[in-house]
Amino acid sequence: MNRREHLRFLFAGIISFIITACRKDVGSKVKTLKFITAFPQKVYANDQLELNWASENIPFISVSKRTGNGNWQLIEENIAAGIGKYVIILPTMFSNKDPLSVKISGDDLEEISTEMQTYNTFVVETAIHPELAIVGGMKNFNFSSNDVFIKRESPSGIKCFSSACTHSGCIISFIQSSNKFNCSCHGSQFDANGNVLQGPAQLALGTYSCETISNEKFRVIY
């Protein structure tokens, strides 16, 4: 083989390689699937969880959540991947406080978002409970075996006290005329901010976490 024939053979090989590579690239596009966000990370019962993802060359995906025994439970399948968003309606109450994990999957690819902490909540609206429409207003609530006094602390917030006396756990009452909590078991008294006024209790009343949803709507977290 002379030099000219050798170059012609080499050039033909290069062209053949390029054509083959191009055909492979066209026939097998790269597929990608990636979580962008699972919002919010603080997951409240009776709320919504929004999943957002980015995908390429995947027509459909499925959404699953991890159950208490560690297995995956399918929520919905054949969701158009290009939508990039899916909303999960959460249960009215979580049976445990384990972190929630969700998974999106499609075409042998999957992405998992984990460690979203779950919380049970009780929502209070002043339109339903007008006692809390004014600053200083107080009302007692009992929900899911939790007995709580809710005080309108400011125009934009509330404070939530446990109704259990810190001396021996007896249920206290709020005396509106004297603006204080009273324990009928052993005579302990607390001011409207939960501080001890009279023993034998030594510790201030316990509190619950609460958040403002809007000016007249609040959430107690338990």
Asked whether residue 79 carries a pLDDT value surpassing 50, the answer given is yes
- What pTM was computed for the model? 0.66
pLDDT in tens, 190-211: 999 999 999 999 999 999 999 9
Q: What pLDDT is attached to residue 10?
A: 52
Contacts of residues 36-44 at CB distance under 8 Å and 24 or more positions apart, as own/partner, are 36/84, 38/102, 38/113, 38/116, 40/116, 41/115, 41/116, 41/117, 42/116, 42/117, 42/119, 43/90, 43/100, 43/116, 43/117, 43/118, 43/119, 44/90, 44/118, 44/119, 44/120, 44/121, 44/219, 44/221
pLDDT-derived band of residue 18, with 50, 70 and 90 as boundaries?
low
Q: CA torsion angle for 150, 39, 41, 155 (degrees, to 10)? A: -20
Asked whether residue 26 carries a pLDDT value surpassing 50, the answer given is no
pLDDT in tens, 127-184: 999 999 999 999 999 988 889 999 999 999 999 999 999 999 999 999 988 999 999 9
pLDDT in tens, 85-131: 999 998 888 877 778 899 999 999 999 988 788 899 999 999 999 99
Q: What pLDDT is attached to residue 81?
A: 96
Q: What mean pLDDT comes out for the span 70-96?
A: 91
Asked whether residue 188 carries a pLDDT value surpassing 80, the answer given is yes
